[in-house]
Every structure is written in C-alpha cells, then in structure tokens.
Amino acid sequence: MTSTDVLRPPPSDIKSRIKAWLMNWAMAHVGTVFRLLRAVWPIPHFGKFAAVTRYDDVKEVFASNSKFSVTYQAKLEVIMGKPQFFLGIDDDAQHNRATDAMRTVVRPADIPVRLVPAVLAAAEQAVAKAGGRIEVVDALVRQVTFDVLCDYFGTPDPPGADMRVWATRLFEFQFADPGNDPVLRKEVDVIAPAMQAHIQNLIDERKKSRGSKDDVLGRCIDKQAQGEPGFSDDDIRSALIGFVVGGLPQPPMVVPQALEQLLRRPAILAEAQQAAKDNDDKLLAGYLFEAMRFDPLAPGLMRIAAVDRTIAAATPRATKVAKGTSVLVAFSSAMMDERRIPEPRRFNPRRLPHEYMHFGFGMHTCFGIHINQALLPLMLKPLLKKDKFRRAPGRAGHLTKRGAFADTLSVEYLP
Amino acid sequence: MVQTVRTVVIEGEPDSIEILQKLIDDFKAEEEGPPPDFVYKYDRLKMRAPALHFMSMSIFEAADYDPIFVIETNFDGLDGPIWAQLEAAIPSLRAMLRCCKRPAGPLGDVYDAISYRDSIFPLAPYLEAHMVKPRIFHLGNRGLDRTRILRESELFVACQDELMNAETRNPNPYRPATASEIHQRLRAALRPKFSWLDEPASPRIPKLENLTDRLRLIGLVLAVLLCLSIPGLLLALVSHSWVAIAISLAAAAMAARAIGDLGDLRQLIPKSASPGGKLKATIAGICGLTLYVLVFSFIGAAILALLTPVTFLGALKANFIEMLKAALLVLAVGLFSVLAILWWLRRLERRDPSQDEPPINDKLMREILKSEDHIVQNHMGSLVLVKPGALRAVLIRIGLVGLGLLLRVTARDGYLGDMRTIHFAHWALVSNESRLLFLSNFDGSWESYLDDFIEKAHSGLTLAWANGVGFPPARFLLLEGATHGRLFKAWARHSMTVSRFWFSAYTEYSVNQIERNAAVANGLRRVRFDNAEDAKTWARNL
Amino acid sequence: MGAEPVKPKGEADAGKWGLTRPQWKDIQSFVASGLSQLPWGQALFLQIDRPGGGWLRSLRALEPIKKGLGPINNADGLFEEAVTIAFTWTGLQRMGLSDETLKTFTTPFREGMHQEDRRRRLGDEATRGTIVREGLQWSGNVPPEDPSITPAASPKTVHALLLLYDWDEGAVERWALSVQTHLNTQGVTVVHRLPLSLNLDKLDKEIVAHEHFGFTDGRLQPEPYLQPPAGNADETYRWRGIPLADVLLGYPNFHNNNEIAPCPLVPFSDQSTLRADGAPEGYLNLGLNGSYLVVRELRQDVAAFWSSLESAAATMRKQGPHSSAITADWLAARIIGRQLDGSVLCPPGVTAPQNDNFGYLANDPYGFGCPFGSHVRRANPRDGLARDARSGPNLLDAANHHRIMRRGRNYGEKIADRMVDDGKNRGLLFMCLNTDIARQFEFVQQTWLLNPSFATLFNETDPLVGPKGPMTIPEDPLRRVIEVETYVKLAGGEYFFLPSVSALDYLQGL
C-alpha cells in the first residue's frame, strides 16, 4: 500500500534533489533572513502573501484568531472526514468547548503519575538496549513517543501496518506540504481512510469491552456512555486521529534538533548533562527548550486573513493586509527578536515562559503543551546521564534532515 | 551592562481612577502576599521581570489635567524586553490599562484590541507607545546589573558569616593574619560556593559607552557655542572692524551691569578649591577661550567665504589679523548674547511667582508618609508644571540634557555632588512636555534626601527643577532655589503623589553598600594581592 | 546624652549667642544653659483637668516659682532655683488655645511623637524591642488628625512638663511636693514625677556630670550664633556653630535668604505683650523666643549593660593574643564613642584633641579610633561622612544643619555596683531643644542613629538606643563585630512647646 519507511525517500531526480538541497540550505539560514527582515522589513508583504517576523506582530496575529484564521480545515477533512476537529475551528466558543471536553479525558494529572514514569522507563530501555551507540531520531525519540503515547491514547498499531508511518505521512500532508505534492496525496488517499477505519474499529471493539483499560479511548467511551456532549463516535475518532497525527510526529523532529544544538555547544551540553545527573528536571527542560529556540519545529505557521486588517497598527511598520492574504506567522523569528527577548543569541537555559512560542500562542496553542513540556526533556534524560556522551564519528554524528523532518543523528556513550 | 530608565505615562479615565487605584493596591497586596507558589514577597515580579531594579506605579491627579497613570521602570539592558516581562509579570496590567482613556488615532484601535473582554492581544507595543524617555537620569551603581548586585551581596553576607563564625573560634584564624592572608583564607572558603569568582567581571562602563558620552557632551557644547555665535557671525558679514568689537564688548559690559548680581556666580566655585586649583581653572578657561577664538575664527571665515566669496578671497589675501578680528567679533557678540540671555533670564526670575505655601492634600500626604520608611530605600514621585515662555522652553531642554550628559561623564561613581544615595532618578517631560515628572529611588528618609539636595547638590537640582512652576526663587538657574530649604521641601511635598506600588529588587542595600559589596567581590576575584597596601585597603571593606 | 558641662557660677549670659540683655529677659533660663549650678531637680509631668490658663497664673505667683520661672536672673550673680515649663499639643488645647492657633504649630508637634508613621521613623515600635517591657507609660496622647485611625494611647496623658532645679537634693523634693499640692487645688494632677540629677563627680580638679553607665556627659554642644561670624577665624564656629534659629523660634534661619521660619501665631491684640516679629499681618508671634522641647524618658539597665560587655570581652579575649587587651571598658568606650572620662577616642599614634573643635576626617577617617557606629559619632558625624578632604567642609556644614541643643538629666539614683542589678528604676530624661523637629531631632534619630546604612555600615543601628544588633569596630587589617543588646529603652516621651516669658503671659491669660 505505501512505503514502510517512516520518512518518504529522498527524491531521486536531479531537479528535485537540487530543490531539496536548496530548501535545506534555505531552512538552515532562515534565521539570518528573519533577522534582516526584522530590522528592515518586519512585515514583508507582496500580493496575497505576508509574513510577520517580530515578536509583537507574531503574538498579535496569533491572538487575533477571529481576524486570522487557521488553514487546516481542508486537509483535516481529507484526513478525518467531515467531522470537525478543534484545530480547524476559528470560533472561540466552539473551539473551547471541544478542547474543554478533550481535557476531561487527557488529564494533566496523568502527566506525573503515568506519562513521566512511562517515558523515563521507555527511554532508559531504549538506551540500555542500544549499547554504546544510538540513533536518536528513530530508535530513541520516535520509539518512545509512539510506544508511550499510543498506549496512553489507546491507539495501537493497525494490523499489518505501522502507526508511525501513517501518522508521519498524514502529518506531512497536513502541516509540511505547502506545495501539495501529488505523490504524497496519493499515499494519503490510501492511509487516511485506513486510519479512520482503524480508529473506528478500535472504538467499536472498546465499546464491547468497556472498562478493560484506562486510557484516553476508554475514557471517551465512558463519557459517551454517560451522554456527555462532544463524545460522539465522530468526535472521538477525529480527536484520536488528531492527537496521533498532529502530536506524535513532532517530538522526533524537535528533540533531536535540540540535541544537535546542544552538541554544537560542548560547554552547555556539559551543563545540561549535569542537570540530568542532578535530576533537576526543571533546569533540564530549560536546556531543551532553549536549544529548540535555535532550531524550532518550523519557521512559522500559516494563517489567512479573514478580513482586511492592519497589523502593528500605530507603529511605523503598520501594514494593511487584505482579506484572504496568507500570513506566515514566523514564531521562530519572534523567539529571536531582541526587541522583546533579552540577548536572543545567547544560550540561556533560565529564560522566562513568555520568551518561548514553541507551542504557539493564543487559542490554537498546542493542545499537548503540558504533556510536551514535561515529556520532551525526559526523552533525552537517560541518554544525557551517560558518561562520555558524544557524537558518533563521521557524518552519522551530525543531524541530517529530510524535508521538514529530522532524519538521523547518532551518538555514542559509555553503556 | 547598561541600565535603562523608561516610564510609561498614560492618561487615566477619570471615572475609572478609583478602580485603577484598587487594581494597583490589590496587585501590591498580592505581591506582598506573597502570591501562591512563591515564597517571598515580590518574588513573582522579581522572577518574571528579571531585568527590573526598581519599578513604581502611581497616579498623579491635578486640577487642570485628567489623572495620569505612571509606570516607572529602571532595568538592565536596552528597552524592549522589559515590556514583555511586565506583561507576563503583572496579571492585572490589562485591567489597569482598561481604566485608561482610549487614545485618539490608530492607537485607539490598539486600545480596542487590548481591552476587549478576554483579550490576549500583546500589551508590550501599547506600553511602548506610551513610553517616555528621561531628559536626564542618574544611576547610583552604574554598570552593575541586577544579577551581579544580588550575587555580590550574597557573597558579602557569606563573608560576614564566615568571619562571624571565626569570631567564636579559639583562636580565631583570621585574627593574627595580615590582610593578604585574610584574603587568601576568605577566598579559599568562599570559592567553592561562589564559582563565578573565577570569571572576570565585565567592565562597568564599556569603552564605547564612555566615548559616546564624551562625544555627545562635546557635541552639545559645540552646538550651543555655535548657536551663541550666530549673531556674531551675521554681524561679521557686514563688518568686522575694531569699532564693532569695541561696541559689542561695551554692550556686553552694559548687559552685565544691567544684570547687577552677576558677580554672585562666583559662588559656584567650590569653597574648598585650593589656590592652585583656582589657578588651574583660570588657565583652563583662558585656553578654552583661545581655542574657541581660533576655532571660530576659522569656522567664521569659512562661513563668510561661503556667503561672500569675494570678501573671503580678500580675507585670504589679507593677513591673519583680519581673521582674528572677525573671530574676536564673534566672541564679543557671543559674550553679549550670553549676557543678554542671562539678563533676560534674571528678568524672568525676578518676576517669577514662587509658591511659598503650596496647598497640601492632607489625605494624600498621610498616604505618602504611611508608604515611606519601610525599607532602606524610599521612593519619590513628583509632577510639576513647566514655566512658560520661549527662553524657559530652550533652557529646560538644554539644561536637562546638558546636565544629564555632564553627569554621565563626571558622576560615574554614583556621587552627585557630595551625595551618594540615589539608585535611579530621572526627570522627564510629560503631557506634551507641559509638565516635568521626577521619579527617584533613593536611600534613607525623604527628609534626609531633600536635605542632601539642599545641602550637597543644590546647584544641579535647582538647574533641573527651577523651571517648575512655583519653585523657590532661584538666580541664574543655579543659585539659591533649593537652598530655601523649608520652601523647597514644602514645594516638593506638594508636587508628590503616593507611590501606590513600588518594587525594589534589593531592599536591604544602599548605593554605598552595593559599591562595598562590589569592592569585596572584586578583591575576592583576584587570585592574590601582591601589594600589602592594596590588600589592607580591600580588607577595610569587609 | 545629658546636660552641658558644669560652668562656674554666675557666667555672664547677657550677650551670649549674640542676643541682647532685653532679649534674654524673654527667654526661659532652660534655653540658655544646662543649669548645672543646680545639680538636683524634679520633673513633674502634669495633666490639666480643668480648661483654661488660670492654674498657670496661680503657679507663677507661687514663691519660689515666681523667682525661678523665667529668664536666668543673674543680677546678683547667683540664683538658687530655676523653673522651666513646657506644653504638649494636648496641653495647649486643654488650656484653650484656639484651633486656628493650634494649626500654626509645626507638624511633628501637632501630630505628637507617637503618630504611627513617626513611631516607625523614630524606631519606637514595640516589635523592635526599644520600648520598656510594660509598654509606653506616658505621652501627650495627641489624637490623630484622621479620626478613623485608632490613637496609640499611653496610660498617662501629659499636658505639661514642669522642671524644678535646685542645688540641694532634699530641698528640691520638698519643693516639688509643695508645688504638687498647690497644683492639685488648681485642677492639675501630677501624673508622673522623676527626681533628676547630674551625678556630679570630681575628676582632675574639674567637677563633671556622669550618666548612669558611668560616662562623662554633656561635652558636645553646638554653639548658636545670631549673625554668622565673619571669616573662618573662629574654630568654635567652624566646627560647632549653628544658627540661633535652630534653637530659638523667630530668628532668621541659615543660608543666604535670612528667612524666618513660620512660628505659632495668635490673632493681633493691643493688650498682648507678644510681638509681631515675623508674623503675618493681623497676627502676633507666639513662638518668638520659644522653642520645641523633645523629651524622652530612656530607662537604662546598667547592670545588664556591663555584665553583657564583660562576657563579650571575655569571649573576644579567647580569640588570641591580638585580643588580650579587650575589656568591658574598652568595648563600652567603642559603643559610646568616648572614653569613660570623656576623652576622644583616637587611632593609635594620634593625639586626642583637647577641646570639642575637631573633625573626624583628618584624624580618624576609617574609624579606627572612634568607630563609625559608635553613639557619639552617629549622633554627630561632624565631617566624618565626607568621601575626601575636598568635600569635608561641605559635609561638616551639612551635619551642622541637624544639631540639637541637649538639656537632658539623669533620673533615679546612681548604681552602687555597675555589675549588680539593684532592681531600681534609673535612666536618662533625654531633653533637647530645636526649632525644626523633623530636620533636627528626628533627622538625628532616623538618619544617623537608626540608619542601618549609616556611613559605610550595613545592617546595624546605634548600639545604645537602637534595637539589638551588631556593631562594627574598625581595625586594621580586620574589623571586629560585637552583638549589642538594647539596654536603653523608651518609657515615655513627647514633643513639647517651650514658650517665651511673654508667651507664658499670654497662655496664663487664656
């Protein structure tokens, strides 16, 4: 049906390869471009496209969800079918009803008692199993993420297929396919119905064995049985697909990217390792999210102007964008804006929460923000605790990317 | 690291002022709680706004203006990040801004965006839009960032503890030791806990900052001299004969005579100046004047050349005397200009109404007194009207900027005159520059602060404040004024409002003590003292 | 702490401070001198139960008050008794002074010493351990201006202070009792009475006063002048000169503006002996030749003071040979800032100045002789707060703007053995004259004595009158720090108005 590799193979033809290489190069230097833009042309605007690069403007666009709508709905429908997932909703009340309902089943209380120990155990196991050398992207982070969270959500691998592949492919389609690659679409057209069927199947089965397992799916079924609104089969299915597709492919991107940033700064890496050894999880998280600031998930997110609107009103850079304009909300640039972030080019593990926008801002702030904030650093913790932690020799020891995704990064340590 | 002073001034909505007051009071109560999840008073603000040294929030009410909401911030680094920090640190900030007027123009739209119910629209740009830069500010511990102040204080306390513990030992190992040995022993005891002692301290005033300050001061002086020379230059276009020079000098002398009390400016010469010092000052003055004549004879000639090429060619062919004559004329007319301005100023000063018994709001005064003298430092916020008139408008700007630059260049060790009790103080022009706002964070009581002004720094203070309506009578902008101690205190009190919310990041440390902590830390950063005298001097700080 | 040095009897007081003989006639004797010729005294704290000034008239008619109350009468070169009277704000109100007049008194007097913010500034909060265990005993109980504030009341309310000085201990006590009996008939109760003394002792041919801890007292007084002396020739004026306006109301103040500070005023009347001097049109000057008197009853625990110093000295001696010379006397001298015999503490190798005309900057800049934190150096830092020689004169001038004229006396009997607590009540009735309470007495108390950042010190206050805490004794190469308890505690206190003779005439006519 589709390829069994988690990431799609690199393009084979020369043209696409040059394009991919150029893309990679551009991505590597996007920070410099943004820095320049922030100074001289903070809101670049041509035709139906605009971008916001300064912290204030990024926050403004994120905050004005009624004026700048999300662009997810069309592709979400391809992935999930008709029923709405909250990611695609712009209306505050409707959106919050949906997320509030889901927060009753994805509970903050689960993090310390269930998810944290599970992630630590899984990561430790992965590191132990690997001996003295491990590939971080797949063998550690992706493995741990999917193992722990699929168990938590109640969404095991479909029979004969790999959830990691399905989720990653659908994620790419939803979030990292601005060019609408027909090849990818072909795969999605196969995976999406299969995914829906698989989850529906899980729902149906669980209805028969209610109470057999305390996971998100089980709680949803209970809520449905209690007649609570927001827990129809469609709601449950969309939410679970949303969690798996929207959430799980991200840690394997950002965590290895953060590790790569740490590896580039040996003194800071040593401090981060010390924090891991001291079991100072708060400080360790500080290192991880600060490292992520230097190579975040993406340069930005897209929004569409729903009305004619002036961004950064009453400032010299005030820019009027017409209804329908696509706006790149460059949160990566916002986190480097010295107008609001003190000494942005300095690595500072003790930054304040408001200096980060890894999880967006406003209504569409990442639903899994609390889970991610707690779990992402722990995925690396067992590894960082190891002595003689270092890059693997050769190219394997440096992070490679494939498109928007982290591909490989191997490290060595004293087992 | 550089420290910055910025103040946000927003017009309050008169009907909502009581709500605003309550919001500020509630915020204070919350911070003093301390807030949930925080152990110490003001820790939330301290942690969420890590650049902040001092901050205040006050409301100034006045008979002829709507109330204004003033947020004073004194912080590390350049401005910008502080507004985002405040937004994150003050949960009720948005509600406070809702109690302010909707501004006219495009900023009104931003007001709508930040103030609707449940808005999360960023506040930082709105605050920044209302930000006022100080015309003059003074820093007590220039170049010491908050982190450094706090950790050097911690080190000082650790030193005291170490030495205190030793006092009970028998025998005390520190007692028979020399200063160098004390240094070695203390360093060995404290280094494990204070690993930063091995890092070199960053320079407090970077060379570039130093250079810019000096250049800006020189630039200002030159600009003022140039302006004063303009009449002379214009006159030199027409004639530059000895007669014209003599007439100008005579006019200057007449102006001086008309002023009458010009000689009293001698009071500005410090009483304690030694004869040698006076001689030096005289020589420096003469050299300066000569330099001025030479420079401006050149500039004057150049400008003449531009305007009247024929004359210039003629002048070139003529001898140096012609050039010098023109320069002397410029100087003589310049001298006349200065004296004419002084005469005009004295005329204004003689007619200035001063307010001997300004009305004082007893209830407000009660609140002010109640808020004072709780920690080592105190806060003062004052707002006065600016005296009208063209000359005043010019003098207040040049005076404040000039004094500010002079302080940047000369008052680098925190001493203002003979006083060193100010952490952060500044003057700013607000309400479309019709009012002069003064905000200060100082050590000791208000009485002692004002007495310091009266006794130790009255000239500078008078220069800055004598342009305020009702200020006690001053002469030449520098003399008397603040020395009318009782009048000055009454005037200052009446101009104040209560500092409803006031935050200090280091409540126990005076300017002097912070310098002492820094001296102790600097000593301990050294591996050893090679010179016994240096060690002794250092040990006196312990 | 305490009174002026003993002077030979009959010193010519006319012409003193630049005032003429007629001017002196209007001034209560207490202002002019510490009256050390009359070493025994009684302080009667009066509560006026009946409105009006009639009691004052009858009191002034009483012999020997008639003779003693008023100016120093040295027509015969001698006088055998002296009487001083001063009033609190509540006392003046009780006597019937109009609200309009009461408003013209200075704010600290109007609010009283125990207004809550003032208490904080003066360090008189019970939580600081500077108040006697049983709490404040007496004050004027001035009601707060804002009726919503609950007044900090003391059990005894004092409306006036009557001081009787005599040369004989028994005589003054008998006198006090007879006055008390007389006052009772006039509707005035003596709510509190303290026997006063100077603890005179003969020391090197000179008779000197001592306070209860045993220190010679009363050496350091400012020297008022009416006209600034010309030139810098006079050392006394240079070091100790203060404008007369800082001691007496109604005279031109310092600085170049010769301004007269506002005085309490009464409406103009032809009959009054009061003068208009400096008063606005339509008023007479009630304050002229009067002053404000700050009174604080400070209880001293002599035995505890000395035993704590003995034990502290013993602990310090254990530190090694460098500390072997430390005794309780040595520590006490550092706390006070003078030797027991009153001589100046100087760094090793510096000769002690023989009179009071000296600064710290030249001889003792680091406090190696007289510690920065010692009581005497805090109470009058002279030029010692200057950062360098250049700023010395300016800082000396600045310090001299905050001087007070001390007129205190001991109360209670001298302790027999300073190490043995005899359970008796003793201390200092601190009294000082000043015209601007905020700038003078309160400034000294708050900005010098109780300032935790005084000079270059950190987190320590006056070792004598401040709360318990450390005190630094500078020494090369390493300072010593001792912990000092509070052995001087406030038992009562208030601000009084000390009227001129003509103002007394006015008041008795109320």
Residue with structure tokens 């708050």?
A: C446
One domain for residues B236 and B252? yes
> What mean pLDDT value characterizes chain B?
89
Residue in B171, B174, B373 nearest the CB of C478:
B174
Q: Is B420 contained in some domain? A: no
pLDDT in tens, C215-245: 988 667 888 888 777 665 578 888 888 989 9
Shortest CA gap B105–chain C (Å): 45
One domain for residues B121 and B153? no
Rounded to whole angstroms, the Cα distance separating B248 from B151 reads 61
Give the number of residues written for chain B: 542
Which of A38, A68, A339 is most worth mutating to test chain B (most B CB atoms within 10 A of its CB)?
A339
Per-residue pLDDT at C316 exceeds 70:
yes
One domain for residues B36 and B59? yes
SS (H, E, C) B97-145: HHCECCCCCHHHHHHHHHHCCCCCCCCHHHHHHCEECCCEEEECCCCCC
pLDDT in tens, B375-384: 999 999 999 9
CA distances from A81 to A191, A230, B106, B293 (A): 12, 16, 43, 87
| CB contacts, 8 Å: C458 with chain B | 156, 509, 513, 516
B511: which DSSP letter?
A: H
One domain for residues B16 and B108? yes
At a CB cut-off of 8 Å and minimum separation 6, what does C45 contact?
C138, C156, C158, C160, C161, C190, C191, C192, C193, C194, C492
Rounded to whole angstroms, the Cα distance separating A326 from A345 reads 29
At a CB cut-off of 8 Å and minimum separation 6, what does C50 contact?
C186, C187, C188
| CB contacts, 8 Å: A344 with chain B | none
Largest CA-CA distance found in chain B, in angstroms, rounded: 93
Q: Under an 8 A CB cutoff, do B122 and A315 touch?
A: no
Q: Under an 8 A CB cutoff, do A342 and B48 touch?
A: no
Q: Is B164 contained in some domain? A: yes
User: Does the beta carbon of C480 lie under 8 angstroms from any beta carbon of chain B?
Assistant: yes
One domain for residues B121 and B213? no
Look at residue C259 in the predicted model and tell me its pLDDT: 76
Residue with structure tokens 């060619």?
A: B313
Q: Is B437 contained in some domain? A: no
CA atoms within 13 A on the CB side of B8: 25
For residue C474 the two structure tokens come to 């500078």
One domain for residues B118 and B230? no
Q: Under an 8 A CB cutoff, do C318 and B170 touch?
A: yes
Shortest CA gap A70–chain B (Å): 17
For residue B46, count other CB atoms closer than 10 A to its CB. Answer: 21
pLDDT in tens, C22-49: 888 899 989 988 888 888 999 999 999 9
Q: Under an 8 A CB cutoff, do B182 and C477 touch?
A: yes
- Using the 3D structure, point to which of B317, B351, B385 is the last residue of a domain: B351
Per-residue pLDDT at C151 exceeds 80:
no
Helix (H) or strand (E) holding C72: none
Is-contact B167 B73, C-beta < 8 A?
Answer: no
One domain for residues B6 and B88? yes
Ranked by mean pLDDT, the top range of A402-406, B173-177, C459-463 is: C459-463
Is-contact A219 A99, C-beta < 8 A?
Answer: no
Q: What confidence tier does B65 reach under pLDDT thresholds 50, 70, 90?
A: very high
Helix, coil or strand: residue C353? coil
Q: Under an 8 A CB cutoff, do A56 and B85 touch?
A: no
Q: Is B447 contained in some domain? A: no
Strand partners for A69: A304
pLDDT in tens, B278-333: 788 788 888 887 887 777 666 666 666 666 655 555 555 555 667 777 778 878 88
| CB contacts, 8 Å: C480 with chain B | 167
Q: Is B491 contained in some domain? A: no
Is-contact A252 A404, C-beta < 8 A?
Answer: no
Look at residue A378 in the predicted model and tell me its pLDDT: 92
Look at residue B166 in the predicted model and tell me its pLDDT: 87
Look at residue A306 in the predicted model and tell me its pLDDT: 92
Look at residue C76 in the predicted model and tell me its pLDDT: 46
Residue of C413, C179, C418, C444 whose CA lies nearest to C296? C444
Residue in C257, C319, C459 nearest the CB of B508:
C459
Residue in C315, C390, C397 nearest the CB of B455:
C397
Rounded to whole angstroms, the Cα distance separating B265 from B403 reads 17
Q: What are phi and psi of C258, to 5 degrees?
A: 50, 35
Residue with structure tokens 């698989």?
A: A198
A–B CB contacts, 8 A cutoff, strictly below: 65
What is the pairing mode between strands C223-225 and C241-243? parallel
- Domain extent, residue B273, equals 207-351
Look at residue B304 in the predicted model and tell me its pLDDT: 60
Domain count, chain B: 3
For residue A18, count other CB atoms closer than 10 A to its CB. Answer: 11
For B432, counting Cβ atoms within 10 Å of its Cβ (0-12 exposed, 13-18 middle, 19+ buried), the class is exposed
Look at residue C405 in the predicted model and tell me its pLDDT: 94
For residue C16, count other CB atoms closer than 10 A to its CB. Answer: 15
Q: Kindly report the CATH number assigned to the domain that includes residue B15.
A: 3.30.70
Rounded to whole angstroms, the Cα distance separating B268 from B271 reads 8
- Using the 3D structure, point to which of B351, B384, B399 is the last residue of a domain: B351
Q: Under an 8 A CB cutoff, do B456 and C395 touch?
A: yes
What is the pairing mode between strands C156-157 and B501-504? unpaired
| CB contacts, 8 Å: A316 with chain B | none
Residue of A nearest to B82 (CA): A340
Per-residue pLDDT at C4 exceeds 60:
no
Mean pLDDT split into 10-residue runs, chain A, 415 residues = 71 81 83 93 93 95 89 82 76 83 88 92 92 90 91 88 88 85 86 89 87 86 87 87 90 93 94 94 94 92 92 92 93 94 94 92 85 90 92 91 87 90
Is-contact A167 A244, C-beta < 8 A?
Answer: yes
| CB contacts, 8 Å: C389 with chain B | 272
For residue C359 the two structure tokens come to 């600064």
Look at residue C9 in the predicted model and tell me its pLDDT: 41
Is-contact A58 A311, C-beta < 8 A?
Answer: no
Look at residue C2 in the predicted model and tell me its pLDDT: 40
Look at residue A90 in the predicted model and tell me its pLDDT: 77
CA distances from B120 to A109, A306, A349, C506 (A): 26, 18, 26, 70
Rounded to whole angstroms, the Cα distance separating B328 from B297 reads 8
Q: What confidence tier does B236 reach under pLDDT thresholds 50, 70, 90?
A: confident
Is-contact B2 B131, C-beta < 8 A?
Answer: no
Look at residue B24 in the predicted model and tell me its pLDDT: 97
Q: Which long-range contacts (CB under 8 A, 24 or more apart) does A60-63 make?
A: A60/A311, A60/A312, A60/B113, A60/B121, A60/B122, A60/B125, A61/A303, A61/A311, A61/A327, A61/A329, A62/A303, A62/A329, A62/A331, A62/A357, A62/A360, A62/A361, A62/A362, A62/A364, A63/A361, A63/A362, A63/B119, A63/B120, A63/B121, A63/B122
At a CB cut-off of 8 Å and minimum separation 6, what does A176 contact?
A298, A403, A404, A405
Residue in B84, B121, B129 nearest the CB of A314:
B129
One domain for residues B49 and B94? yes
Helix, coil or strand: residue A49? strand
Determine which of B235-244, C250-259, C369-378 has the lowest per-residue pLDDT on average.
C250-259
Look at residue B21 in the predicted model and tell me its pLDDT: 96
Asked whether this complex has an ipTM greater than 0.85, the answer is yes
Q: What confidence tier does B438 reach under pLDDT thresholds 50, 70, 90?
A: very high
| Extended beta strands in C55-185, E state | 81-87, 138-139, 156-157, 160-166
> What mean pLDDT value characterizes chain C?
88
At a CB cut-off of 8 Å and minimum separation 6, what does C329 contact?
C340
Coarse DSSP helix, strand, coil percentages of chain C, rounded to the nearest 5 percent: 30, 20, 50
Query: Is there a cis peptide before residue B206, judged by omega within 30 degrees of 0?
Result: no
Look at residue C231 in the predicted model and tell me its pLDDT: 61
Per-residue pLDDT at C1 exceeds 80:
no
Strand partners for C297: C429, C492
A14-412: CATH superfamily? Cytochrome P450 (1.10.630.10)
Residue B456 vs residue A281, higher pLDDT: A281
User: Does the beta carbon of B177 lie under 8 angstroms from any beta carbon of chain A?
Assistant: no
Q: Which chains touch C (3 or more CB pairs under 8 A)?
A: B
Strand partners for C484: C469
Q: Under an 8 A CB cutoff, do A313 and B48 touch?
A: no
Is-contact B486 C261, C-beta < 8 A?
Answer: yes
Look at residue C3 in the predicted model and tell me its pLDDT: 40
Look at residue B123 in the predicted model and tell me its pLDDT: 94
Query: Is there a cis peptide before residue B34, judged by omega within 30 degrees of 0?
Result: yes
Residue-range domain boundaries for chain A: 14-412
Per-residue pLDDT at B483 exceeds 90:
no
Rounded to whole angstroms, the Cα distance separating A285 from A258 reads 11
| Extended beta strands in C183-318, E state | 188-197, 201-203, 206-208, 223-225, 241-243, 265-267, 283-285, 291-300
For residue A68 the two structure tokens come to 């700048």
Average pLDDT over residues C183-198: 94
Q: Is B499 contained in some domain? A: no
Residue of A nearest to B1 (CA): A343
pLDDT in tens, C236-283: 888 888 989 999 999 987 655 677 888 999 999 888 889 888 888 999
One domain for residues B197 and B307? no
Residue of B nearest to A62 (CA): B121
One domain for residues B121 and B257? no
Rounded to whole angstroms, the Cα distance separating B533 from C497 reads 54
Shortest CA gap A257–chain B (Å): 26
Rounded to whole angstroms, the Cα distance separating A379 from A124 reads 9
User: How far does Cα C29 stand from its chain's mean position?
Assistant: 15
Per-residue pLDDT at B183 exceeds 90:
yes
Which of B266, B369, B376 is most worth mutating to test chain C (most C CB atoms within 10 A of its CB)?
B369
Look at residue C6 in the predicted model and tell me its pLDDT: 39
Torsion of CA B408, B413, B419, B420, to 10 degrees: 110
Q: What confidence tier does C77 reach under pLDDT thresholds 50, 70, 90?
A: very low
